[in-house]
Amino acid sequence: MERIRHLAPPALAAGAALDEPATYERNVENFIGTVRVPVGIAGPLAVHGGAARGTYYVPLATTEAALVASYSRGAQLITRAGGCTARVLDARMRRAPVFAFADLRESALAALWVRENLARLRAAAEATSRHAKLLAVETTIEGNHLYLDCAYATGEAAGQNMVTFATEALCAELLASSPVRPRSFAVESNASGDKKAAAHALMATRGRRVCADVTIPAALLEERLRVTPAMLAAYWRVGAVGAAMTGTIGMQGMYANALAAFYLATGQDVACVAESAVGITRLDVAPDGALYACVTLPNVVVATVGGGTGLPAQRAAARLLAHGEGPANADALAEIVTATALAGEISLTAALCAHEFAGAHHRFARCGAGARTGVGVPA
Amino acid sequence: MERIRHLAPPALAAGAALDEPATYERNVENFIGTVRVPVGIAGPLAVHGGAARGTYYVPLATTEAALVASYSRGAQLITRAGGCTARVLDARMRRAPVFAFADLRESALAALWVRENLARLRAAAEATSRHAKLLAVETTIEGNHLYLDCAYATGEAAGQNMVTFATEALCAELLASSPVRPRSFAVESNASGDKKAAAHALMATRGRRVCADVTIPAALLEERLRVTPAMLAAYWRVGAVGAAMTGTIGMQGMYANALAAFYLATGQDVACVAESAVGITRLDVAPDGALYACVTLPNVVVATVGGGTGLPAQRAAARLLAHGEGPANADALAEIVTATALAGEISLTAALCAHEFAGAHHRFARCGAGARTGVGVPA
Amino acid sequence: MERIRHLAPPALAAGAALDEPATYERNVENFIGTVRVPVGIAGPLAVHGGAARGTYYVPLATTEAALVASYSRGAQLITRAGGCTARVLDARMRRAPVFAFADLRESALAALWVRENLARLRAAAEATSRHAKLLAVETTIEGNHLYLDCAYATGEAAGQNMVTFATEALCAELLASSPVRPRSFAVESNASGDKKAAAHALMATRGRRVCADVTIPAALLEERLRVTPAMLAAYWRVGAVGAAMTGTIGMQGMYANALAAFYLATGQDVACVAESAVGITRLDVAPDGALYACVTLPNVVVATVGGGTGLPAQRAAARLLAHGEGPANADALAEIVTATALAGEISLTAALCAHEFAGAHHRFARCGAGARTGVGVPA
Amino acid sequence: MERIRHLAPPALAAGAALDEPATYERNVENFIGTVRVPVGIAGPLAVHGGAARGTYYVPLATTEAALVASYSRGAQLITRAGGCTARVLDARMRRAPVFAFADLRESALAALWVRENLARLRAAAEATSRHAKLLAVETTIEGNHLYLDCAYATGEAAGQNMVTFATEALCAELLASSPVRPRSFAVESNASGDKKAAAHALMATRGRRVCADVTIPAALLEERLRVTPAMLAAYWRVGAVGAAMTGTIGMQGMYANALAAFYLATGQDVACVAESAVGITRLDVAPDGALYACVTLPNVVVATVGGGTGLPAQRAAARLLAHGEGPANADALAEIVTATALAGEISLTAALCAHEFAGAHHRFARCGAGARTGVGVPA
């Protein structure tokens, strides 16, 4: 494969000035310098998304050899097959406060009050930000404790802080107005799934819920990855059982590499990998004998403003994904990273089926040679 | 608080030369440049570990404001209380191959053969590396499928690749020697928990299982964090229920920030946060009225060789944790990051109880001022 | 304690005629006789419920010695403390069909069609029964598969069959009317939690969601159960961690004994214990030093019509719970069994704390003597 | 199909005398009578087990119409295909005590002491019973708490009480001999999975771990159940995802009906369904186009002594499973109930695929006619 000449390093911002404290003062305390994480590109990756429409070269920041090469071969396969479809199905950032009352009678009354006073609570919450929109408040009673699940639209921001401020105001309004007074409360009860893997998250979106799928002709799969659709589908069944036996949340080969490398490259909060890396992969044989592959990620946390998205190199990396003027919007980022995860699932599973899993690591991790060969323009 | 003068930036390696492709050719393919992640230090953090013995300034790479400050105030509190205890309780990297047979009779025979031929399998596996030691092989039969759980000691390496090579050799030996021949196999079955959150992982160590605990006098807690031990213990009970209600794996405030920032700063594989960020936190009132706090992390994946640990800035960051000549060993890194997570759990929970959770973000995220105040030498 | 004279055996229907095939022809195929399960009564149990208001003697069918005695001592304690509160918080029986389409584009279009044609789907579903009311339909897209979560009110019936019929009609309507045609479908996709323990069930009611709580003065607890509130609360914390470490769904001492014995005595479907026996127990020290205890069960499946509820002895047992004319309604049964579970949690935990857990079994299981002593009228 | 004439009712013990208190005094307190649960038989079911070898008519006690008929048609299909294989793979009853120490240093020392003093602890535990054999003690440290997982062989008894007595003695020995003294302890910590669904249980046997599998020729499947192997395998994939999306423990159609009905008929503890009804089902197309089906149940809790196994009708029901003199032993019962669950998985899935799921209930639940037709001798 050829390498992509128009992205010769350093395509990202460089220079010693980027190590200056002033660049980072809004991002970190007690600054002592920077660590640099190399960015490779995987692609081309053709995505027919709701927001991401085009062929992308995906920046991935990692120190793990073979990672970019593996995503790249999956991306190229998808592109050769005509591209994948991707859709943001839902978007909501959540915060889950809890209120303690004297007993169940009181918590049940308070839950009723919340349901009847949503407009008042919404007004308080939304007054904290131009961007936060309160989508829903669900109540769960556990004895004398009342848990709320507050879901917000947060626009282009990831919204983790935005929903905290908004929910704090919502709580203050409840404290001021509810005829039933709680003994105590906390703005977060551990029930929102914030940077934690929780089964509930599979059903209840946090961040963006995204799905991507692709159909790959059998001949193309065999030519490129040396496996058949039936082999991948057979492995999927084994892996599904392996996941179930060990109490894994969701069902996947592994999303964490794609998510961590993409988040890091584009200035997202990489700690969110703890919650983002759950989902469902399915590899199946389509009626016409092709491979059908899909990935569903219910907790993709991406943004184009806030956090590390404004740092020079990170912004430059995100701009690689723009079509037109500015960077891709958050929906587009979410669709691209999910498509990348789909590429990885196909590539990883094929490596396992073709008994090249260890081989890939041997080849790439042990010798620098060949490290440039993973990306090319499909003929 | 005073800032730590001996760690003025840039304490880590800097300079445009660090953006050169040659530096990263063993770490990434299709290199196009680097992203820089600012590193702040949290501390001092006094640890009485099995391997980590001393007072540490912990490098944390993050773009999320307030993060370093929060860990720092937790670390200082622990240090003022005399330091925390930490112990690596177990260390094993796992790979879980699967073999498909014709039926249950055959898979049961093969399981028996495995248990009776462990020496032969061990020899094959250990021949692939000077460092890999096969600790155990467990067999699980699911119909005509036989899953093996192969656990290895991997020394100072994280060992993810090492155990793949070793297990591939183990599989080859089984294929060559077992009188019952499998129809097919894969070196990984999705049952090892590799970069995935799985309930099984809480009981079955992957990487290092580490526990850290500390007792904090009530007066010190109130003076520093404006909360009482009873408040933290009450919140813990609420959070435990919040976790259980939502099907969360483990029970925690949030480890991901500490793990991601530490892994990134010291060149670990940050994608491992997906599996590392599960564990158990407990906050309780000790018989004498003090706060008792402990954190148990069963899947800490750290190394001093391989991956990104050899990159210039990452190596410099890890050296901050050395006492004496070289960098801290992997056991020490595991104990330090767990102690850091403990500091974070106390600080985060106190912020929630004192209703300063949103406030902390407001203060640090919205204005650069004060960003230097989080770390100091305890008086 | 005295025994309850007005319930001397045989209070339930008896006689050889009850072994006749004609009695059971609607309940079982290939009838060969009956097994008899002895029923003991636990109580008195004072419940201040939404539907159950009074003091109950709860029939429990079991062959496990010490079970009735344990629930009885918990019930008496609750009654002495003034009774417990109980509330049915939600009621919905669910069925989760799945439709397979060609790809994600189609499944997303179909999901949209479902959301826009709810009235039509509701009409079809509700035409199958006078009692089924379609409360909600939620859509979940997983690649080319569309899962629906159909929730119904089913009145006094458990509704497992009713929602199957209704959902079958709903599916037929979708097949007939949707412009996007599925390739195939099934009326149940394994996502409803039918007789299976699923984390999702903790948040999504199936059957009745019920909560019960009680406050027990410390002196009363010590006098009756030889433990303090602090001891029970300390055990609860240990047990919460024990549950989390082992990937348990929910957090409980054990509900299965109460549920199985109550379901069996009153003619419910005892296989539902597989889904009903998940929930959250909390034992805490109230501000005034009393014990605060609560139980939340999100999947109580009870009925007053259908299944085994019409059999002679089962109907007689359910009538023990009537106040006034007929049997207690389904809401009342749900509140009573949850209150019984609460009694059991307190009694069981106290036995563990007082180191009488094994002792209770020794005493009751090894010798018949004393077996009558567990129930009495509180002085 | 013909009915089985040699099992005409009442094949089980009958008569008013069976309602007498004296019959049940060791099984229940506050006896007020009995409820009768009708027993139907499903079969013939040919099992090639380790302990169960023969063709069985399986007694199932239930009040749910269509249940026996469904298992019966699955059993007949298996039998026509030549029977299923079944194996008890492991047998161990567990109890999990917990000890609280001052801090992590002490709990780590105590764990070491336990590992070095197993012989002493075993002697104490085994002195409590002729039947209890301590197989293993595993230690888990969580801060200042030490959890033990004590696994025992318990012979023909379910062993729930036996392991409590033995573990109480083990704890007493630790208290008496350990140089590190715990502050407190409990004989059960909620970590044993006792009558609770826990992910850990899928890997860690409690009771008996049993696997059963069968291969069914495609033509036979189509003739009898009107479905193809490919249809069942396709449904399995959908159901696997449905289970994963909802955080279900394991992967199954539904085991609870088989387990509850079998446990009830043969005098087992039906509350154990809460833990027994987890496992893994797999339905796949074999290389030759046949259906391959297997069920793995890791927590089957059955006995031939103790509990309700000695009651007249229950003993008679268990004797139906004897070949030769006495009743089948516990291993045989475990293999038979797992084979029955396998029959149910095939029958249930076929009904869903053939869209006869609701229909089956309609037919059987709505009219008594035809209720006898489900069992016959295969032609």
Look up residue D21 and give its amino acid. Answer: P
Structure confidence by residue, pLDDT tens digits, A197-237: 999 989 889 999 999 999 999 999 999 999 999 999 999 99
Q: Are C68 and C106 in contact (CB under 8 A)?
A: no
Across the interface, do D143 and B203 touch by the CB < 8 Å criterion?
A: no
D248 and C199: CB-CB below 8 Å? Answer: yes
Q: Is the pLDDT of residue A5 over 60?
A: no
Which of D141, D251, D280 to mutate: most B Cβ within 10 Å? Answer: D141
List subunits contacting chain D, requiring 3 or more Cβ pairs under 8 Å: A, B, C
pLDDT for the residue B326 = 65
Q: Which residues of C touch A105 (CB under 8 A)?
A: 85
Q: Is B324 helix (H, G, I), strand (E, B) or coil?
A: coil
CA–CA separation, D240 and B153 (whole Å) = 34
Q: Which residues does chain B have within 8 Å of residue D104's beta carbon, measured at their own beta carbons?
A: 85, 87, 211-213, 294
Give Dmax over CA atoms of chain C in angstroms: 71
CA dihedral C103, C105, C107, C110 (to 10 degrees): -140
Find the CB nearest B313 among A11, A36, A362: A36
Q: Are D61 and D316 in contact (CB under 8 A)?
A: no
Rounded distance between C-alpha atoms, residue B54 and residue B324, angstroms:
11
Measured between CB atoms, which of D34, D189, D308 is closest to C239? D189
Distance of CA B122 to the CA centre of its chain: 27
| Contacts C200 to A, Cβ<8 Å | 199-200, 202-203
> How far is C296 from chain B, CA to nearest CA, in Å?
10
Query: Which chain B residues touch C244 with a CB distance below 8 Å?
Result: 202, 240, 243-244, 250-251, 280
Residues of chain A neighbouring C143 (CB-CB closer than 8 A): 211, 213, 282, 292, 294-296
User: Looking at residue B201, what is its pLDDT?
Assistant: 86
Closest-CA distance, A249 to chain C, in angstroms, reads 10
With beta carbons under 8 A apart, name residues in chain C contacting B282.
237, 241
What tokens appear for A269 in the block? 């909060």
Q: Is residue C269 flagged as an active site residue?
A: yes
ω into A182 cis (within 30 of 0): no
Q: Which residues of A touch C292 (CB under 8 A)?
A: 103, 143-144
Burial class (CB in 10 A: 0-12, 13-18, 19+), A369: exposed
Tens digits of per-residue pLDDT, C94-150?
A: 999 999 999 999 999 999 999 999 999 999 999 999 999 999 999 999 999 999 999
Q: What is the pLDDT of residue B47?
A: 98
Q: Which residues in chain B show pLDDT less than 50?
A: 1-3, 5, 362-379
- The Cα of D28 is separated from the nearest Cα of chain B by a number of Å equal to 34
pLDDT of residue A359: 58
Q: Pairing between strand D133-142 and D184-186?
A: unpaired
ipTM computed for the complex: 0.94
pLDDT at B324: 66
From the list B108, B183, B282, which residue is nearest D143 (CB)? B282
The identity of residue D309, as a single letter, is T
A48, A131, A145, A361: the active-site residue: A361
Q: Does the beta-carbon distance from B203 to C246 stay under 8 Å?
A: yes
Which chain D residues are closer than 8 Å to A251 by Cβ? 240-241, 244
Contact assessment for residue A59 and residue A317, using Cβ atoms and an 8 Å cutoff: yes
CA distances from A54 to A83, A262, A279, A329 (A): 9, 18, 24, 14
Q: Name the average pLDDT for chain D.
A: 91
The pLDDT of residue D12: 84
> Which one of B196, B232, B356 would you mutate to disrupt binding with A, by most A Cβ within 10 Å of its Cβ?
B196
- Per run of 10 residues, the mean pLDDT along chain C (length 379 residues) is 55 81 92 96 97 97 96 98 98 97 98 98 97 97 98 96 96 97 95 93 94 98 97 97 96 97 98 97 97 98 96 95 84 98 98 78 40 35
The SS3 assignment for C313 reads helix
pLDDT tens digits for range A250-300: 999 999 999 999 999 999 999 999 999 999 999 999 999 999 999 999 999
**A33 to B9: CB separation less than 8 angstroms, yes or no:** yes
- The residues of B that are catalytic are 64, 269, 361
> In angstroms, what separates the C-alpha of B199 from chain D's closest C-alpha?
6
Q: Of A91, A90, A96, nearest to A170 (Cα)?
A: A96
Nearest CB to D196: which of C96, C98, C248? C248
Average pLDDT over residues D58-71: 97
Residue of B nearest to C197 (CA): B247
- Closest by CA position to C153, among listed C128, C131, C171: C131
Question: Amino acid letter at D136?
Answer: A
Catalytic: A64?
yes
Identify all chain C residues contacting B280, using CB atoms and an 8 Å cutoff. Answer: 241, 244-245
C352–D187: do the CB atoms touch at under 8 Å?
Answer: yes
Average pLDDT over residues D346-363: 79
Contact between B294 and D140 using a beta-carbon 8 Å cutoff: no
Name every residue whose Cβ is closer than 8 Å to that of residue D119 and which is 6 or more positions away in sequence.
Answer: none
- Position D364 pLDDT exceeds 50: no
- Residue of D251, D281, D285 to mutate for A, most A C-beta atoms under 10 A: D251
Residues 6+ apart with CB under 8 A from B278: A196, A197, B197, B201, B202, B249, B250, B252, B255, B297, B298, B299
CB contact under 8 A, C41 and D28: no
pLDDT above 70: percentage of residues in chain A: 91
Nearest to B238 among A189, A249, A273 (CB): A189
Amino acid at A215: T
Tell me the nearest-neighbour CA distance from A116 into chain D, angstroms. 30
Q: How is residue D308 written in tokens?
A: 């309700």
CA distance C319 to D77: 42
Distance CA D84, CA D90 (A): 19
* Residues A28, B196: C-beta atoms closer than 8 Å: no
Interface test with chain A among C294, C297, C335, C345, by most A beta carbons within 10 Å: C294
At residue D324, the pLDDT reads 66
B355: left (phi over 0), alpha (psi -120 to 50) or beta: left
Contact: B240, C251; criterion CB under 8 Å = yes
Size of interface A-D (CB pairs under 8 A): 53
Is the pLDDT score of D139 beyond 60?
A: yes
Cα separation, D142 vs C238, whole angstroms: 10
User: Using alpha carbons only, how large is chain C's radius of gyration in Å?
Assistant: 23
Residue type, D58: V
Listed in sequence order, the residues at least 6 apart from B98 whose beta carbon sits closer than 8 Å to its beta carbon are A238, A242, B145, B146, B147, B148, B185, B186, B189, B191
CB contact under 8 A, A196 and B256: yes
Q: How far apart are CA A336 and CA A300, in angstroms?
A: 11
The C-alpha of B214 sits at a distance from chain D's nearest C-alpha, in angstroms, of 8
Note whether A32 contacts B255, CB cutoff 8 Å: no
Q: What is the DSSP letter of B251?
A: B
**Most B CBs within 10 Å, among D144, D189, D342, to test the B interface:** D144
What H or E segment, with its residue span, contains residue A43?
strand A31-49
* D chain contacts of residue B291, beta-carbon cutoff 8 Å: none
| B294 → closest Cβ in D87, D104, D295 | D104
Residue A137 has pLDDT above 60, yes or no: yes
Q: Dihedrals φ, ψ of C336, to 5°?
A: -70, -40
